Chain A
Amino acid sequence: MPQDKNRQFLDFEKPIRDLFEDIEKLKASAEKNKVDLTDSIRKLEQQIVEKRREITSQLTPWQKVQLSRHPDRPYTKKYIEKMFTDFVELFGDRNVRDDKAMVGGFASLDGQTVMVIGQQKGSNTKMRQLRNFGMANPEGYRKALRLMKLAEKFNKPVVTLIDTPGAYPGLEAEERGQGEAIARNIYEMMRLKVPVVCVIIGEGASGGALGIGIGDRVFMLENSWYTVISPENCSSILWRSWEQKEKAAEQLKLTPDNMYSFGLIDKIIPEPSGGAHWNYDEAAGNLKPHLKEAIRELLAMDPQTRIEKRIEKFSVMGFWDEMPEPKQEPVTQENDQSNQY
């Protein structure tokens, strides 16, 4: 968690920054004039907490998107550090290379070994480049699948932490089959014999998110988003301009509240007031009991039932009208013996 003076503020967080500045002024003045301003400072600190709560209670969808991308927001490895012990990071897809945008490894969740996998973003310019802004290449998805298969072999539950603006749209990514890599993951995750719990901890954009997003349980943190395309790209395609991202965010109904009401996710995990970036311990501490509970429930089921329920869970998603239709005479005959496989 950044020190207060190193904090970064989004536009709508400006009132908080102002309060921080007021505190700094008071502190300086207390120092200079040798007076005790502890009470006033404490009052301002209380105001900050209230302001944080106030701001997160009335976020627009676009502001939620911005918060999910907050430069101080905890990323996958931070959650791993705060929730698990004995994390042993495993690298590489055994094929092309190690994708730094996708991390994973064995870890212990209060004694239960799990395989934890997630997209990783960087917290400064250099690291952001190294992590490719959390945009995995095909080898990242194949690395994730390799680790999931390893977990399956040793009967360990899989936890995925999703935080990506999308799978990387690069030339080499296409050469190495970005679509195929994601498709394969979706398919294999559906059939994974061990419990799978997925959590959207920040950005959940499109196939890049879904590529590690097929779980028996899918959770979203309070200030995350999940949909088929980023609001910016949606704006550029449907509005033919980059300027309508706020409208796009609204129309896409990408917030956890919406996703929960649609039945597309199972739970919303509350964040510290003001967002996860205000208290990493609290953010991870909020999530951990839900992970443990889900894993405990899922381990109680037999693998075949779990897989059937997982397929069923996703197969009821969608909305459509069903009109009455007159029955036609079928041309193909039933139980044709020539078509037995």
Chain B
Amino acid sequence: MRQEEDFEANLAGEEGKSEETRSSWFKRIKKGILTSTADKKETPEGLWSKCPECGYICTVTELRENLFVCPKCNYHHRIGSAEYFEIIFDDNQYDVMFENIRSRDFLQFTDLKSYGKRLEETWAKTDITDSIRIAAGKVDGEGLVTGCMDFEFIGGSLGSVMGERISRAVDFCLERKMPLLIICKSGGARMMESAFSLMQLAKVSGKLSLLTDAKIPYISLLTDPSFGGISASFGMLGDLNIAEPGALIGFAGPRVIRETIKKDLPEGFQRSEFLLEHGFLDFIVHRRELKEKLAQVLRLFRN
């Protein structure tokens, strides 16, 4: 198993990376994930992390060196936009856009807490301004606009801000003739925005059709988890729909399905591999190979 992976890493041929990737379990990669950690306050050095899948224990530093993939079982830990941008963009250089668009409690929605308060609290504990960040940069020299969801911001939920930021990202892509990647990681719609959140499915899908007319590629990368309104709109509308291994992806959540059919769900149900088998994914990509694979398909689209 391990050998196979080394082989694949070698084949990928990312500049200067093959050598290091081969032994990357224990060594630092010079460029890439270790640059500027200023923003990552959640994982101080010296902490230990336990893999939720296999129980393997390693230091957070080691985990980070391995792009937050369990060195033992390949479980892909949930990471945020900062980590993904660092993984895919050359020299960790990118422009973040549309951060000035912020959520508002327009409906004065109150469940156990008011939406306004929920937003204030979330902003207070994180630097992230909403559930998606848009950035433009280069992936092995190929220009790419990327929208990446942050699960820690109200479960990566799809609300007006996500819709508007993606919408503007599409306009930016049209203007610059740059391809679009959306990295999905979301539980679904932001219920506190009620019908407005539902209409974001329509809004984004409509905007994506403009990319189709302009023949600009759009890639959807589904990561763990990608549910509800995400899969019922742009998550499944990529020219390429790709996913990380083992990610839970679906329309209805497993709990709802279990309660509906009153039976246990089969092993592997709604995992990436299941979706691939049923014909809904173009391919599954390991986080380590994400950048090369993206660059490869972007080049194929372009040439």
Task: Please give the residue numbers on chain A whose beta carbons come within 8 Å of chain B beta carbons, in ascending order.
Answer: 167-171, 173-180, 182-184, 186-187, 190-191, 206-207, 210-211, 213-214, 226-229, 233-234, 237-240, 244, 247-248, 251-254, 259, 262, 264, 310-311, 314-315, 317-325, 328, 330-332, 334-336, 338-341
Contacts and interface: CB of A to CB of B under 8 A. Distances in A.
29 contacts: A170-B252, A170-B257, A170-B261, A171-B265, A173-B251, A178-B252, A179-B232, A183-B236, A187-B209, A190-B205, A207-B228, A226-B195, A228-B191, A234-B191, A237-B191, A251-B107, A252-B109, A252-B191, A315-B206, A319-B104, A319-B193, A320-B103, A330-B136, A331-B137, A332-B94, A334-B176, A339-B179, A341-B179, A341-B214
Contacts, number: 237
A169 B205 contact: no
A211 B203 contact: no
Nearest to B270: A174
Interface stretch (B18-26, B44-52, B138-146): B138-146
Contacts of B112: 238-240
Contact of A174 (B199, B228, B252): B252
Interface of B: 93-95, 99-104, 106-107, 109-112, 136-138, 141-143, 159-161, 163-164, 167, 176-179, 189, 191-203, 205-210, 214-217, 228-237, 249-252, 256-257, 260-261, 263, 265-266, 269-270, 274, 278-280, 301-302
A238 B111 contact: yes
Contact of A180 (B191, B206, B231): B231
A169 B251 contact: yes
B215 A318 contact: no
Contact of A318 (B95, B143, B199): B199
A321 B196 CA distance: 15
Contact of A311 (B192, B207, B214): B207
Given A251-B110, A317-B200, A341 B176 contact: no
A338 B142 CA distance: 7
B196 A176 contact: no
Contact of B100 (A168, A178, A322, A340): A322
Majority DSSP secondary structure for residues of B touching A = mixed
Q: Which 5 A-B pairs have the closest CB atoms?
A: A179-B231, A318-B160, A169-B252, A179-B251, A325-B100
B203 A228 contact: no
B261 A206 contact: no
Contact of B257 (A169, A248, A318): A169
A323 B199 contact: no
Contacts of A174: 250-252, 257, 269-270
A335 to B, nearest CB: 7
B189 A229 contact: yes
A335 B265 CA distance: 50
Contact of B194 (A176, A213, A254, A340): A254
B160 A319 contact: yes
B206 A190 contact: yes
B109 A187 contact: no
Contacts of B228: 207
A247 to B, nearest CB: 8
Contacts of A331: 93-95, 136-137
A328 B94 CA distance: 11
A169 B111 CA distance: 25
B107 A315 contact: no
A264 B251 CA distance: 24
Nearest to A329: B95
Given A177-B280, A186-B205, A340-B302, A264 B199 contact: yes
Nearest to B136: A332
B252 to A, nearest CB: 3
Nearest to A248: B111
A195 to B, nearest CB: 16
B176 A335 contact: yes
Contact of A169 (B176, B260, B266): B260
Contacts of A207: 198, 201, 228-229, 232-233, 251
Given A171-B269, A251-B110, A228 B143 contact: no
A261 to B, nearest CB: 11
Given A167-B251, A186-B233, A338-B142, A322 B101 contact: yes
Contacts of B179: 339, 341
